Amino acid sequence: METFFLRGSSLSSIPSSSLNHRSTFRPINRRPCLRAQQSDGSATDIPPGEFKVRNSQDEIAATQGIRIRRRPPTGPPLHYVGPFEFRLQNEGNTPRNILEEIVWNKDTEVAQMRGKKPLYTLKKAVDMAPPPRDFIAALKASYLRTGMPALIAEVKKASPSRGVLREDFDPVEIAKAYEKGGAACLSVLTDAKYFQGSFENLEAIRNAGVTCPILCKEFIVDAWQLYYARAKGADAVLLIAAILPDLDIKYMTKICKLIGLTPLVEVHDENEMDRILEIDGIQLIGINNRNLETFEVDISNTKKLLEGERGEKIKQKDIIVVGESGLFTPADVAYVQEAGVKAILVGESIVKQKDPTIGIAELFGKDISAA
C-alpha cells in the first residue's frame, strides 16, 4: 500500500493522479525536516543532505540514460508538491529489477565493509599486495598465439539467472583447469549473495600459483572497492556503465591506473557504448550480451554494437573489445570474432563441464592450450 506523508494544511495542490484509493495521507508537523519510514512502520528523521546527494546522483545518472537508481538511505525519497511533502512508498524504496537490487545490496554491503576497513588501512594493504599482472598484455599475447579470441574464463558457481551452475565447486581446481586449457585470464566472481562468490576464492586462486591475470568480477559502486580488490590480489576490475555515471568511470579509471588495476568497462547498449567511447584512456571494453535487468541473452548484441562508426572509432582508439555472456559453441566464438572482438568472457558453458579444460577445447572446437 502506498503511504503519503503530508506537510501543510490543504490537499488542494496535490495532483489528482496522486490521490488514488491506494494512498493514505498522514498530516505531519510543519517543522522542515525529512522523514523516512522504517521497516517496522515507525518514522525517523534523516539528514536532508543525504537525500539531496542520492537524488542528485540519480538525476545526473538519468541524464546519461542510466536507469539504475542508487539505494535511498532509509526509504523512499520525498516528493514536493507546493507546500506539501508526500511519499510514494512503493516507488522509491523497491528495486525495479535484479540489477538495481544487486546495486542496492552492494551499497549497504560496501558501507559496512568500509566501516570495518577504512581506506587508510586498505592503502597499506595495497602496498603489500603482490604486484599486478598485465591483463591486456596477456589478452594480446593469447590472441597473437592462437589467432582466436583470448579467453577470460570465469570462475562462477551460481548466478541469479541460472541458479547453481556447479555443485562440486572448487575454485582453485577450476582456475587451474582453465589455465591448463589455454585461458589467457581469469574472471573471479566475488559477490556472495547473488553469485556465491567470494574474495577468499580470489585470494586462494592468486596464492595457488596460477599465473593468469585475474579480473575481480564485482559490482563496483564505490572507489573503496578498487583498493579492496587490489589488496586481495586482483589485476583487473569490472566497471559497469549501466550503473556508473561518466564521472565515476573517469574517476575510477584514474584510480585504477594509480594502483595498477586494469579496468574492463562493460556496456550493453548503444547509449552506453557511445558514452564510453567519449571517455579518454579506455583500453578495454566488454560488450555484455546479457541484459542485466531482464536476463535476456542475445549474442548478436556484440555485432550490433561493433557495426559502423562505433566499430571504426574502436579501431582508431585501438580498444580491445571483449564479447561477454551466452557463448557456448565454436560457431558462437567465430560469430563474435567475425564481429570484431579480440577476447571473450565465458562462464556457464565451461564451468559446467566435468573437466573445464576439455570444456575450453569444446568451446573453441580445438585445443588452444598448445596452439
Ligand X SMILES: O=C(O)c1ccccc1NCC(=O)[C@H](O)[C@H](O)COP(=O)(O)O
**How far is Cα of residue 89 from the mean position of the Cα atoms in its chain?**
27
Coil/strand/helix, residue 220: coil
Binding residue for ligand X (CB under 6 A) from 122, 151, 239, 292? 292
Q: What's the closest the beta carbon of residue 270 comes to ligand X, in angstroms?
A: 18
Q: What's the closest the beta carbon of residue 316 comes to ligand X, in angstroms?
A: 26
- For 336, how many CA atoms within 13 A lie in the half-sphere containing its CB? 34
Binding residue for ligand X (CB under 6 A) from 58, 154, 179, 272? 154
Contact call for residue 196 and ligand X (CB under 6 A): no
Told to judge if 50 belongs to the known catalytic residues of this protein, a careful annotator would answer no
In whole angstroms, how large is the CA radius of gyration of the chain?
A: 23
Q: Do residues 197 and 234 make contact, with C-beta atoms less than 8 angstroms apart?
A: no
Query: What are residue 25's DSSP bridge partners?
Result: 4
Cβ proximity to ligand X, 284 vs 346, nearer residue: 346
Q: x/- string (CB under 6 A) for ligand X, residues 294-333?
A: -x----------------------------xxxx------
Span of 73-81, 159-167, 201-209, 276-284 interacting with ligand X by CB under 6 A:
159-167
Query: What DSSP state is assigned to residue 16?
Result: G
Q: How many chain residues are in contact with ligand X, going by CB under 6 A?
A: 21
Cell of residue 71, nine digits: 539505494
Q: What's the closest the beta carbon of residue 158 comes to ligand X, in angstroms?
A: 9
Give me the residue label for grid cell 569490472: 238
Buried b / exposed e along 236-262 (16+ C-beta atoms within 10 A): bbbbbbbbbbbebbeebbebbeebbbb
Cell of residue 134, nine digits: 598485465
Told to judge if 309 belongs to the known catalytic residues of this protein, a careful annotator would answer no
Contact call for residue 156 and ligand X (CB under 6 A): yes
Binding residue for ligand X (CB under 6 A) from 58, 100, 235, 348? 348
Q: Which amino acid is at 245?
A: P
Binding residue for ligand X (CB under 6 A) from 23, 64, 161, 369? 161
Coil/strand/helix, residue 58: helix
Cβ proximity to ligand X, 85 vs 324, nearer residue: 324
Nearest residue to ligand X by CB is 347
Q: What's the closest the beta carbon of residue 244 comes to ligand X, in angstroms?
A: 14
List 106, 156, 232, 303, catalytic entry? 156
Contact call for residue 272 and ligand X (CB under 6 A): no
Span of 3-11, 112-120, 175-183, 287-295 interacting with ligand X by CB under 6 A:
287-295
Cα–Cα distances in angstroms (integers) from residue 365 to residues 121, 329, 335, 358, 359, in the given order: 47, 8, 13, 10, 10
Q: Which amino acid is at 154?
A: E
Told to judge if 266 belongs to the known catalytic residues of this protein, a careful annotator would answer yes
**How far is Cα of residue 188 from the mean position of the Cα atoms in its chain?**
13
Residues annotated as part of the active site: 154, 156, 217, 266, 288, 324-325
Residues found near ligand X in the complex (CB under 6 A): 98-99, 154, 156, 159-162, 288, 290, 292, 295, 324-327, 345-349
